[in-house]
Structure 1
Amino acid sequence: MSKSIKELSLHYDPINESNTFTSGDIVEGRVVLEVTKEIKVDSFFVKLTGDANVRWTEGSGDNERTYSDHERYFKLKQYFIQERSKKGESEKNTTLVDGETYGPVIRPGSHVFPFRFQLPQQNMPPSFKGFHGWVKYVLMIKLSRPWKSTSSTHTELTFVLRNDGSNDHLLQPQSGTQDKKIKLFGSGKMSMNVTAEKTGYMQGETIRVFVDIDNSSSRDIKLKYGLKQQQTFIAGKSTNRAFKDIVKETRDRIPSGEKSKFIVDMTLPHDLTVTIENCRIIKVQYELKVYLDVSFASDPEVKFPVVILPAEQQCPPWQGPPGGFQPYPPPQPNHPGELPPPPAGLYPNLYNPSVLPYPGAAAGVYPNPHAIQPGFHPAPSAPVYDPNQSTKESSPNVPY
């Protein structure tokens, strides 16, 4: 960072205890710029982007090949200072957000630049970092000056899916049965009946499974079970899959000729990645497997799909946008290489402060984002741009 710039920092206001955001939420905060001497600025802006990206390499040497793909969900941008020649111009694939604008000369001291965005009300995947790809929602600021390198900094937001309670079909129980006859190194038959209470579980919840085993064979067996995560990365017609064991356990031995009943409890991590089906290039899915370990023979097994849902968020009443948030439709499968059609009203207007108070007004739980921070200059913290300002500010002889 330049010697003349003592601080360039980015701060946003949490809207809940878990510091997460979802579709339609307001993201607001401030950029702090402290300069030791007067500087001239060409461009100064804050942007919020949502992207998914995959990349992996296969083979080696002359046969090495890299696969990659990218998907952008939105790009929102608010200018504090914009070059005069570009004022009013649109930018490709970018939604420009109105905000306070300032003059091209910043005087010595600390200055606070407020910003406010609204996340699009569309079906976007949650934040994710996997073996060969990620989904990120990033706030970034960039400050460009004549004949100087660009100064920038960024921070990531944690985006979560909205648990809208419309997943009744995931509450249905699942059942499966497997039988096996022993032909080698023994005789007889074993059977297993498995029942899971439901299909969908929230982060931190406990999966409960009931297992009935009839070991009418001459062999001793063991009950084993596990929950496995599958990450799928898609680039064009190429696919890369990676697996991760979330739970993997072994229960007591079931001796020959005995019947046993088990209740299997698997507590899910609170930070477990939710199921991702609404991303074209990244999928995250789960499978529950219950099986009998039989030495020197194939193992009878029962498999169930499991859907991991986001934990319920305790949201303050002011969090939603005006007019009420309409839950997005359930995820629809997309074919590789096929982009989903954008929903109507992709980028709704920012919420109207006359309709909803700023978040800090809610019982004083969260601070006013526009409050002057200790050590900062009182408002106005940065000069409001006025084309009729004296020529001193626009003179090329002004030091920067």
Structure 2
Amino acid sequence: MRLGSVRGFALELARGPGGAYRGGERLCGRVLLEVAAPLRVRALVVAARGRAATHWLERRSVGVNAVSRHCAAAETYLRRRQLLLRDTGEPTTLPAGHHEFPFSFQLPLTLVTSFEGKHGSVRYCIKATLHRPWVPARRTRKVFTVIEPVDINTPALLAPQAGAREKVARSWYCNRGLVSLSAKIDRKGYTPGEVIPIFAEIDNGSTRPVLPRAAVVQTQTFMARGAQKQKRAVVASLAGEPVGPGRRVLWQGRALRIPPVGPSIFHCRVLHVGYSLKVCVDIPGTSKLLLELPLVIGTVPLHPFGSRSSSVGSHASFLLDWGLRALPEHPEAPPDYSEVVTEEEVAVASQSPFPLLPDPRMSLEGPYFAYIQEFRYRPPPLYSEEDPNPPSEAMRPRCMTC
């Protein structure tokens, strides 16, 4: 082994390979250096970098010639540098053995989620450079992941999404009937692993059967020099049963599960990542009928209590609009006593030697069920740590020792 050779030079982060960072956190780690003999070092530098970049090649025809144009753009989010060993003019001699140099960086508050696409990416890495006299610099790097939180518990992302389309089925320039499609989902924001309940109505007025389908589509948009490039991919899909001629079919919450995909990216100037739910009907002999509803894939799941009242209210109105398990706004009044109990039953009860005594604690008249119906479809109250009806002084328990 040559004198002064470097046996090992690597980077190690405090979090494991599966650990992700977010804006505002501290990025901590250490540089590991293993040398076989005393080593003269001028400087040891650690740098943190993060940026988004897009690039692709466009070809255009100008007359009889083909002209190529390279489109590229970049945006920097992180640029930090730290000196672990300073260059003081004289090299520093490190003894043989194992050496560790810790480092720490404060990440900016605003970052963009890591992403890898065909025409662009968002990447973050740590790079360490070892400078020695009269020897080329030794470098090592390590990539880390950033995931910015996208909270779906906002009014805009909890609002229902709906749409309707129709199309005239044609064959050999003859109208063969009207095919209509309407679909609705209970909210706009979802997280990976959740199930999207799809409510749809397919009305086939044509003379041939049609096939309804649904899919979650990811759209990657890359921007550079005033040009755009898009790439679409289906991440989840389902197919329904064929709808025969003159038939009408309802999807009452057809489930479509979201696979593990990256969150939506909107706050980047060079690339966007969006999602949509596409419900379509394949019509033989005619282009398919397509309906697209916007989706946002987030990282913060739906709170079970914080948005309960809004989600319950929107879900109830959602069902009312579609006529699925329609709930009455005002429950019907209970029937009259004479309509339920006949005169013969009243006469028999009056002759009973043990008549029922009225309970003085009961202030309600009529059966309990009539009053239960009134509150049956109301949303539950919001959870609170404070008692809305605190006990009065007269009701508080007294101390036995007083």
Question: What's the TM-score, normalizing by structure 1?
Answer: 0.68
In the alignment, the residues of structure 2 paired with residue 57 and residue 229 of structure 1 have an alpha-carbon distance, to the nearest angstrom, of 22
Question: Does 1:250 find its partner at 2:239?
Answer: yes
In the alignment, the residues of structure 1 paired with residue 226 and residue 170 of structure 2 have an alpha-carbon distance, to the nearest angstrom, of 44
In the alignment, the residues of structure 1 paired with residue 24 and residue 301 of structure 2 have an alpha-carbon distance, to the nearest angstrom, of 16
Structure 1 residue 26: Cα displacement: 1.5
Q: Which residues in structure 2 correspond to 1:66-77 (within 5 Å)?
A: 66-77=70-81
Q: For 1:332-362, what per-residue CA distance to the aligned partner results, in whole angstroms no more than 9, with x for missing partners?
A: xxxxxxxxxxxxxxxxxxxxxxxxxxxxxxx
Instruction: Sort the Cα spacing of 1:163 and 1:186 in 2 relative to 1 into closer, same or farther, 3 A.
Output: closer
Structure 1 residue 21: Cα displacement: 0.6
Aligned twin of 1:304:
293
The letter for the 2-side match of 1:111 is: H
Q: Which residues in structure 2 correspond to 1:204-215 (within 5 Å)?
A: 204-215=193-204
Instruction: Sort the Cα spacing of 1:300 and 1:22 in 2 relative to 1 into closer, same or farther, 3 A.
Output: same
Q: Greater shift after overlay, 147-156 or 209-218?
A: 209-218
Question: Does 1:188 find its partner at 2:177?
Answer: yes
Aligned twin of 1:81:
85
Q: Which residues in structure 2 correspond to 1:266-305 (within 5 Å)?
A: 266-270=256-260, 272-305=261-294
In the alignment, the residues of structure 2 paired with residue 216 and residue 69 of structure 1 have an alpha-carbon distance, to the nearest angstrom, of 50
Structure 1 residue 189: Cα displacement: 2.7
Higher RCO structure, 1 or 2 (CA under 8 Å, sep 6+): 1
Q: Which of 121, 142, 149 matches 1:162?
A: 149
**SS where residue 170 of structure 1 aligns?**
helix
**SS where residue 48 of structure 2 aligns?**
strand
**SS where residue 280 of structure 1 aligns?**
coil
Q: Which of 113, 120, 124 matches 1:126?
A: 113
Q: Percent identity?
A: 28
Instruction: Sort the Cα spacing of 1:291 and 1:233 in 2 relative to 1 into closer, same or farther, 3 A.
Output: same
Aligned twin of 2:27:
27
Question: Does 1:113 find its partner at 2:101?
Answer: yes
Aligned twin of 1:14:
15
Question: What's the TM-score, normalizing by structure 2?
Answer: 0.68
In the alignment, the residues of structure 2 paired with residue 247 and residue 165 of structure 1 have an alpha-carbon distance, to the nearest angstrom, of 20
Question: Does 1:141 find its partner at 2:145?
Answer: no
**Runs of 5+ unmatched residues, structure 1:** 86-101, 314-400
Kept in 1, the 8 Å contact 2:216–2:236? The answer is yes
Q: For 1:252-307, what per-residue CA distance to the aligned partner results, in whole angstroms no more than 9, with x for missing partners?
A: 1001122211233221222x121111111111112221111111123222111111
**SS where residue 220 of structure 2 aligns?**
strand
Question: Does 1:55 find its partner at 2:52?
Answer: no
Q: For 1:16-73, what per-residue CA distance to the aligned partner results, in whole angstroms no more than 9, with x for missing partners?
A: x951110111211211111111111122011111111111112299622211111111
Structure 1 residue 218: Cα displacement: 2.0
Structure 1 residue 311: Cα displacement: 4.9
Aligned twin of 2:398:
none
In the alignment, the residues of structure 2 paired with residue 62 and residue 256 of structure 1 have an alpha-carbon distance, to the nearest angstrom, of 50
In the alignment, the residues of structure 2 paired with residue 183 and residue 279 of structure 1 have an alpha-carbon distance, to the nearest angstrom, of 43
**Runs of 5+ unmatched residues, structure 2:** 303-402
Larger radius of gyration: 2
